[in-house]
Chain A
Amino acid sequence: MKRISLICLFAVAVTVASHARTLVVAVDTALPDLKAAVAEAADGDTIKVKKGYYYSYNTLITKRLTIIGDGYPVLDANYKEEVVTILANGVTFSGFVLKNSKTGSMRDYAGIRLHKVHNVTISNNRLINNFFGIYLSDCDHVSVIGNTTNGTGTELTAGNGIHAWQCHDVIIMNNYSTRHRDGIYFEFVKKSRIISNTSERNFRYGLHFMFSDDDLYQKNTFRNNGSGVAVMYSKRIRMFDNLFIENWGSSIYGLLLKDITRSQIVGNRFVRNTTGIYMEGCNLMTANDNIFINNGWAMRILANCENGRFERNNFESNSFDVTTNGLLNLNKFDQNYWDKYEGYDLNKDGTGDVPYRPVSLYAQIMEQIPQSVMLMRSFMVNLLDKVERAIPSLTPESVKDINPKMKPWTR
């Protein structure tokens, strides 16, 4: 009985396989472009597009197809339309160059648009000079892997590199995004993962979350964007092992957090940013095992943040370690390494014997009078800080690390 069912299964598999055809698209043949091939194909077929230059004015993929570019064929929308729109489940789209979508209109034109689909894979494409790169709306279980997207490069006509709206269970992995508004943008996106991507030189943010919950971003690099990452109005975001580097300028941040709760910032590196982390209205945050090097402000935590825990971080060569506009009563700093710590460790257990107060008096003054920045590193400021360290009177008493480490954490 078992054997018969196996044979049946095999027979079914063979018939399915024999039904699935491979259509080849090439210039000056019976199938001169992708649109003709899609019309010809049936669900389950494969379309191979040979190397060449094709115009594609919003080619609709309405069937379950595997579409593969052979030697990076070019699909050009010539600034008239979107390039490709995928409207069927189970599509694989891989190995194309997509360029020149229409820009700057009431509609968000994209290189590849996905709408109301699931189990779609978009991989190894190169998107050049599109308004939006890859645009996902109302999708789930979609993978976007190994694509590069290079935007229009002008501030006013730049859309987002990878844009997801109202999606869940999406994976964004190994992509590169540059010269867009936001490298990667999530709005109402749940339970999704952003792994090992690079966003650089985008006009607004490298990565941007709005109203998105339960997402993870890990091992990404955010370099020289308007700001590195902005997480806003979201819950339970996990931010692990990312690099925030050279996000520099006025009102520019490595990581900007606004009205978020129960999120974790673990194992990240913040290097040469104007402000490493900026927090406003954030509750129940953990920031552990991070490294802050050469930032203007390592952390700016506004007084409306509550129940934060900041442990085992390294603070090295930052102009200011922590600044705030209030008391930060309910936040806890513990076991961090602060290079400005001047205490002693008599019992040699690796932990300083006197607490460290990361908010300097001068930082407090700066908070009130930003112009006083011109006194930075002056003799007066050093004197003020030294006196305040010896006899604390003006800096918030509650902001202190009672177990400051004598040596940086190695990792």
Chain B
Amino acid sequence: MIVLLALWITACSQKPEALQYGKDACVHCMMTIMDRKFGAEIVTSKGKIYKFDSAECMLGYISEKRGQFGDADTYLVVNYKSGGTLMDARKCAYIHDQKISSPMGGNLAALASEQEAKTFLGNGKLLTWNELVK
């Protein structure tokens, strides 16, 4: 009974899962997730996990499945600077720059803060999450 209960509790947890580079495949474009500078993940309020190889793929998936995801779900993106670490996508700053070769040609990099983003900015454009999901 306790085991079952424990299983039930873990099954409902909303913990994000680390992206397994070289193993996991992107739900949207089907590509194997390879580049540590990029990646994204949705953890739904029910704990279901969707993995993406890039922020643009997650955005594409969200707009394709319009209405399936909402405020209760957690969006995560990988830090372009440190690579591999997931951050809350809503709080991140984004750079759109031709020089950034993200996996799906979105030229999009996610960074922890506006300050951090400015160090990579160059000729690119600084964006917020709300501007991206529009």
Task: Give a binary string over A278-289; 1 marks a CB under 8 Å from any B CB, 0 the rest.
Answer: 101000000000
The yes or no answer to B127 lying at the interface (CB within 8 A) is no
- The count of chain B contact residues (Cβ–Cβ below 8 Å) is 13
- Asked if A203 meets B22 with Cβ closer than 8 Å, knowing A156-B36, A187-B105, the reply is yes
The yes or no answer to B29 lying at the interface (CB within 8 A) is yes
Tell me, in angstroms, the Cα distance from A156 to B34 when the chains sit together: 7
Contact of B21 among A106, A156, A232, A278 (CB under 8 A): A156
The yes or no answer to A204 lying at the interface (CB within 8 A) is yes
The yes or no answer to A15 lying at the interface (CB within 8 A) is no
Contact B105 A210 (CB under 8 A): yes
Task: Give a binary string over B35-50; 1 marks a CB under 8 Å from any A CB, 0 the rest.
Answer: 0110000000000000
Tell me, in angstroms, the Cα distance from A108 to B105 when the chains sit together: 15
- Asked if A204 meets B32 with Cβ closer than 8 Å, knowing A155-B21, A251-B25, the reply is yes
Contact A226 B21 (CB under 8 A): no
Among residues of A, the one whose C-beta sits closest to the C-beta of B36 is A156
Complex interface residues of chain B between 81 and 104 (CB less than 8 A to chain A): 101, 104
Tell me, in angstroms, the Cα distance from A251 to B34 when the chains sit together: 14
The yes or no answer to B12 lying at the interface (CB within 8 A) is no
Contact A108 B101 (CB under 8 A): yes
Contact A256 B105 (CB under 8 A): no
Q: Residues of B contacting A232 with CB < 8 Å?
A: 29-31
The yes or no answer to A79 lying at the interface (CB within 8 A) is no
The yes or no answer to A230 lying at the interface (CB within 8 A) is yes
Q: Residues of B contacting A204 with CB < 8 Å?
A: 31-32, 34
Q: Residues of A contacting B31 with CB < 8 Å?
A: 204, 230, 232
Contact B21 A280 (CB under 8 A): no
Among residues of A, the one whose C-beta sits closest to the C-beta of B100 is A106
Tell me, in angstroms, the Cα distance from A256 to B105 when the chains sit together: 18
Q: Residues of A contacting B104 with CB < 8 Å?
A: 210
Task: Give a binary string over A245-264; 1 marks a CB under 8 Å from any B CB, 0 the rest.
Answer: 00000010000101000000
Tell me, in angstroms, the Cα distance from A211 to B34 when the chains sit together: 19
Tell me, in angstroms, the Cα distance from A256 to B25 when the chains sit together: 13
- Which positions in A face B, CB cutoff 8 Å? 106, 108, 155-156, 158, 165, 181, 187-188, 203-204, 210-211, 226-227, 230, 232, 251, 256, 258, 278, 280
Apart from A156-B22, A188-B105, A232-B29, 7 more pairs, CB < 8 Å:
A108-B101, A203-B32, A204-B32, A204-B34, A232-B30, A258-B29, A280-B30
- Which positions in B face A, CB cutoff 8 Å? 21-22, 25, 29-32, 34, 36-37, 101, 104-105
